[in-house]
Amino acid sequence: MKTLLLITLSILVTVSCQPEETELSSSRSQKSVSELDAYWPAGQAAFPLEVDISTSFDNNETDSIRTSADSWSDAVDNRVNFFDTTGTITEKGGSLGSYQDGRMGVYKLTSWPSALPNLALAVTQIFGLRKNIGKSNESIEISHADILVNYDYFSFSTNGGGGYDLETVLLHEFGHFLGLAHDNSSQGTTVMYPSVSRHNSNRTPLQKDKVAIASLYNIGGVVQAATAQRSIAAIGKVHEEDQGDTEWVVIQFELRADGSEWIKVNDKYVQQNKKCKH
Ligand SMILES: [Zn+2]
């Protein structure tokens, strides 16, 4: 990025580079758990989700978090208000299990839990019921989620200054919060690409993201019918049928400082989306 040579090399590498997915353990289903459709039950009636923001964020940070949450509603032309982020909550301590409580939140952690790697910038933790295991309509019904941001080891920026762009990070994390999986197709076409760069700010859901979120919750009128067709029928079916094995799952999407993302299901790493080295 500093010299012409570096810029040239960087472009070459970026163009040829795809995130490499590594399966770290076998799974009973064909799909990785992290690739499954996940959703809040009751469809649009589930919203707005009350997500409180920890009081330790300053006003600018709180504004950035609210803006990133609102961006998902903007993505569906405000036909659905996904999040109510007006509430606040006190920062919690170390135990990860303590987050499975009655309140969902975005937490600024100045004391990062020892159960999480120091290298994780932010973690979205989702609690849900994995249904129809091993079947084609396998999915995850989300019951609780939280976002933890690692201010113990990293700094974040709200104005393009030093540190990771808080709004960019939170936009991606709120996508997971709503149930969106990663889209590996290409950086620059989706905010659900499984890596976030320190130097990029990507604060608005893109067309593919709009299609994905509208499809997930059957929000009509937002996207061209043809493009939305992807999963409206499939998702509707997934939401209704329940005919297989179930298990409770805790999924942690760990966004790491090198831009890679590691995914843990029930305390076991199942997938790593490596960012190629530039
Ligand atoms: Zn992610």
Q: Which CATH number goes with the domain that contains 122?
A: 3.40.390.10
Return the DSSP state at 43: G
Query: Angle 47-48-54 (CA atoms, 0-180°, nearest 5)?
Result: 135
- Which of 63-67, 141-145, 248-252, 272-276 ranks highest by mean pLDDT? 63-67
Cα-atom radius of gyration of the chain, to the nearest Å?
18
The per-residue pLDDT for 223 is 55
Q: How far is CA 82 from CA 31, 49, 70, 231, 239, in A?
A: 27, 6, 8, 20, 18
Residues with CB under 5 A from ligand 1 (ion): 253, 261
Q: Which of 143-157, 182-196, 224-238 has the lowest mean pLDDT?
A: 224-238
What is the value of pTM for the model shown?
A: 0.82
Q: How confident is the model at residue 156 (pLDDT cuts 50, 70, 90)?
A: very high
The total of other beta-carbon atoms located within 10 Å of residue 195's CB is: 20
Ligand 1 mean position, distance from CA 177 (Å): 10
Find the domain containing 238 and state its range: 4-274
The per-residue pLDDT for 20 is 52
| Mean pLDDT for the chain overall | 80
Ligand 1 mean position, distance from CA 93 (Å): 23
The total of other beta-carbon atoms located within 10 Å of residue 211's CB is: 21
Exposure of 175 in the CB half-sphere (CA atoms within 13 A): 30
The strand pair at 261-265 and 268-274 is best described as antiparallel
CA distance 117 to 29: 27
The per-residue pLDDT for 47 is 95
Q: Is-contact 255 169, C-beta < 8 A?
A: yes
Structure tokens at 182: 């990663």
Ligand 1 mean position, distance from CA 170 (Å): 10
Ligand 1 mean position, distance from CA 189 (Å): 15
- Checking if the pLDDT of 57 tops 90, the result is yes
Ligand 1 mean position, distance from CA 7 (Å): 27
- Checking if the pLDDT of 154 tops 80, the result is yes
The total of other beta-carbon atoms located within 10 Å of residue 180's CB is: 22
Ligand 1 mean position, distance from CA 125 (Å): 11
Number of domains into which the chain is organized: 1
